[in-house]
Structure 1
Amino acid sequence: MASHRRPKAGKTRVTVLTATAVTAVAFASNVSYADPAPFQERVRQRIGELYHQAEATTEEYNGLAERQERLREQVARAQGRIADAQAELVVLQGDLGSMAAARYRGGGVDPTLALLMSESPDEYLSRASVLDRLAERQRDAVVRARSTRRALDQERREAADSLAALETGRRDLAAKRADVERELTRARELLNTLDASDRARFLAADGPAEGSAGGFVDGTDPNRASRDEARPGSARDARTAPIDGRAAIAVAAATRALGKPYVWGAGGPDSFDCSGLTGWAWQQAGVVLPRTSQAQAGAGRAVPIAEIRPGDLVVYFGGYTHVGVYVGAGRIIHAPKPGTNVRYAPLRSMPIAKVVRPA
């Protein structure tokens, strides 16, 4: 006879939670059920991985968007030069036609007209006898016309190449945007399987996943670094050193951004992603930084962690996929991840790859 005993309340909760999570985990994949770690911890780790992937992809998207903007500017400049060259060529051709007509009325075919009618102007002009017969004014006009025509043709080729690259970039941007949205959707699906307290704890963590190791990418012990800072002439002293004008402005700007929401691909002033925040903060100080965290890692002088000062960029993870602004007292201001706002974080809350002082 089948048993109709009611399951214990605790077991029922685990079964329901697991069933909800299984759907999301199957959607996100890469979570092993043989893993001895508690299931909720594995879910949190997978969410962190997806957010980290999304952030890395966002920085790729930002780089593509920056390149697109440069291409649009190149196309606009090329189109302006084409218009100028075309107008100049019309004037020059009109002058040449007038000279040729005047010579024809005087009898005979003017060499300039022959040149204009020739199927091979370069070969025609290469003949010294023709150059000798052309008046200096005519010769100069022909040379200018040929030079202008060549420049016009070159500008048209470059504009066509830029337009083609612009279209390719547009497709790449759309694909990269889809990648980010897919990774964020998977992360949100998993995040919704956590109870309210676990969800809040995950969003409060500064690293991409709960328990992310701080310290340095090369594995340096962060406690050793903290002990080093206690020595005279070390980072503790550097942190209290006067900040130069531009760094002070950048720090003040980052501070004003506290509480603004993280939005991927956003560069301020109302919302930010990580490199959008650092770029905007330094832009307020008159310093233009590249758009991505990877490019910002090379946008200044690398300094040892022991010499870090407020205003310095702190770049995290081996792929330079996250960046914040050091503001002193062992803290950065950064835009952590979707679902969070710009906030303070400990300097070593994530693995430090590099410290950069913008030029």
Structure 2
Amino acid sequence: MGTGTGRRGMLAVAVTVVCAVTVLAVPGTAFARSPEPTGPASPPAATSPSTPGATGAPSATPRTPAPDKDLQAVRAKLDALYHDAAVATDAYNAAEEAAEQQSAQIVALARKIVEGRDRLAELKERAGAAARSQYRTGGLPDEARLLLSDNPGQFLDGTGRVRQGHKATKDMLGELTQVQQDLEQYAKDATAQWQKLETNRKAKATAQKRVEQQIAAAKKLESELEQEEKERLARLEAEAARQAQTTWLGTGVLTGVRGKASAQGERAVKFATEQVGKPYVWGAEGPKSFDCSGLTSQAWASAGHGIPRTSQEQWRQLRHVDVKDMRPGDLIIYFKDASHVAMYVGDGAIIHAPRPGRNVTLAGAGSMPILGVVRPDA
């Protein structure tokens, strides 16, 4: 999502924005390991005569693994945190895209202002030259000099020149006025775009802080799990996804779906497939990492068809199609707030960038709640 040097320079001089955002308080869980002592070691306890072989304090009792019902609660909490991070990522990406567009418009307006000022200086010089010429002829206008002429031929020739001169002067004055008005409008437009840019920079900073907070809270929660609990949690997540996919397929939703990818769709699917295994990084759009909409937007860009950057704008702007009509290359939008997007690759499967800590992967299209399907090359 890089911008040109001029736009980076324009963005670099923007006022630093400090955004106060409430830090998410993460409730403690029952899975935290008791902290090890950090101070000096306590002296060993005296050995009791009634406990032969005792040489010190008894060893810590291993913590009982959390039951699956508690891990389900952890999974729900993690899902909520990562979902909120995804929503904030979409807000960040939207603000980033808008800021890039606005900075480009500011640069374009700046060029117009420079060109307008040069043209204004040129017109003023021409007007000054005309005034100096009139001064050298005694201040008499062309019409007066014609009336004083006693040569009929010269009078007639002069009349045509006077008319041409009048038109040229009128055109020059009209252009001078228009250039001045244009410069005023360019200045107003540049000011408006700068204000929008600052607004979006603030929105971007707020969204960035929110993303970082949610991801940090999720990582903290995961870090409090024992390794065995992490493994069981992963199995629970995989089983939930499998069941959701089985239920979705069981509805017969794919019965009769035989849509064939377009030529551009095939190129988009090829690009997405080649990214499998690369890590999810929020705000990223390649080449080494992606977020969900970064993957889908870059896949279609590689196919020669630009689409909106965020999953919410992809849902809002692209043509909606029925699931029964979908074909490889179409995008499936997930959750009621359109906070996640994946590329349909056929046979009930998708390729997507799931969330922080995961890699671009192949998954079941029905493993998450589907909002709808959109077609970039409709």
What TM-score range do you get, normalising by the shorter chain? 0.7 to 0.9
* Contact residue 202 and residue 210 of structure 1 kept, 8 A: no
Equivalence map 1:141-156=2 (5 Å): 141-156=172-187
Q: Secondary structure at the residue paired with 2:337?
A: coil
Distance 1:247 1:258 in 2: 17
Relative to the length of structure 2, the TM-score reads: 0.72
Distance 1:84 1:205 in 2: 64
Corresponding residue for 1:288?
306
* Contact residue 335 and residue 342 of structure 1 kept, 8 A: yes
The residue identity in structure 2 corresponding to 1:269 is P
Q: CA deviation at 1:105?
A: 2.8
Distance 1:260 1:44 in 2: 24
Corresponding residue for 1:47?
78
2:124 counterpart (93, 98, 123): 93
Residues 77, 228 of structure 1: alpha-carbon distance in 2 compared, 3 angstrom cutoff? closer
Q: Secondary structure at the residue paired with 1:194?
A: coil
Relative to the length of structure 1, the TM-score reads: 0.76
* Contact residue 275 and residue 322 of structure 1 kept, 8 A: yes
Residues 203, 91 of structure 1: alpha-carbon distance in 2 compared, 3 angstrom cutoff? farther
* Contact residue 203 and residue 339 of structure 1 kept, 8 A: no
Q: Secondary structure at the residue paired with 1:324?
A: strand
Distance 1:58 1:177 in 2: 7
Residues 90, 223 of structure 1: alpha-carbon distance in 2 compared, 3 angstrom cutoff? same
The residue identity in structure 2 corresponding to 1:171 is K
Q: Secondary structure at the residue paired with 2:284?
A: coil
Equivalence map 1:31-180=2 (5 Å): 38-108=69-139, 135-180=166-211
Q: CA deviation at 1:300?
A: 2.9
Q: Secondary structure at the residue paired with 2:307?
A: coil
Q: Which runs of 5+ in 1 are unaligned?
A: 1-15, 24-35, 111-131, 216-220
Does residue 1:345 correspond to 2:363, yes or no? Answer: yes
The residue identity in structure 2 corresponding to 1:272 is F
1:331 counterpart (325, 349, 353): 349
Distance 1:331 1:344 in 2: 7
Q: Higher Cα Rg: structure 1 or 2?
A: 2
Corresponding residue for 1:188?
219
Q: CA deviation at 1:310?
A: 0.7
Per-residue CA distance 1:44-92 (angstroms, 9 max, x = gap): 2111100000001101110110100100110111111111111111100
Identity of aligned residues (%): 34
The residue identity in structure 1 corresponding to 2:248 is P
Per-residue CA distance 1:167-192 (angstroms, 9 max, x = gap): 22222211110111011111111111
Q: CA deviation at 1:156?
A: 1.1
Does residue 1:244 correspond to 2:262, yes or no? Answer: yes
Distance 1:107 1:206 in 2: 95
Corresponding residue for 1:309?
327
Q: Secondary structure at the residue paired with 2:344?
A: strand
Q: Secondary structure at the residue paired with 1:332?
A: strand
Per-residue CA distance 1:215-269 (angstroms, 9 max, x = gap): 7xxxxx72553x2534xxx11x33xx3x221010000000000000000000111
Q: Secondary structure at the residue paired with 1:18?
A: coil
Q: CA deviation at 1:106?
A: 2.6
Distance 1:355 1:19 in 2: 39
Q: How many residues align?
A: 298
* Contact residue 285 and residue 295 of structure 2 kept, 8 A: yes
Distance 1:288 1:228 in 2: 29
Corresponding residue for 1:222?
248
Does residue 1:270 correspond to 2:288, yes or no? Answer: yes
Does residue 1:297 correspond to 2:323, yes or no? Answer: no
2:32 counterpart (4, 13, 20): 20
Q: CA deviation at 1:206?
A: 7.3
Q: Secondary structure at the residue paired with 2:280?
A: coil
Distance 2:227 2:140 in 1: 92
Distance 2:291 2:236 in 1: 16
Distance 1:332 1:57 in 2: 23
Distance 1:204 1:291 in 2: 33
Residues 206, 143 of structure 1: alpha-carbon distance in 2 compared, 3 angstrom cutoff? farther
* Contact residue 91 and residue 204 of structure 2 kept, 8 A: no
Q: CA deviation at 1:212?
A: 10
Corresponding residue for 1:26?
none
Residues 75, 213 of structure 1: alpha-carbon distance in 2 compared, 3 angstrom cutoff? farther
Q: CA deviation at 1:196?
A: 2.4
* Contact residue 40 and residue 194 of structure 1 kept, 8 A: no
* Contact residue 254 and residue 348 of structure 2 kept, 8 A: no
Q: CA deviation at 1:149?
A: 0.7
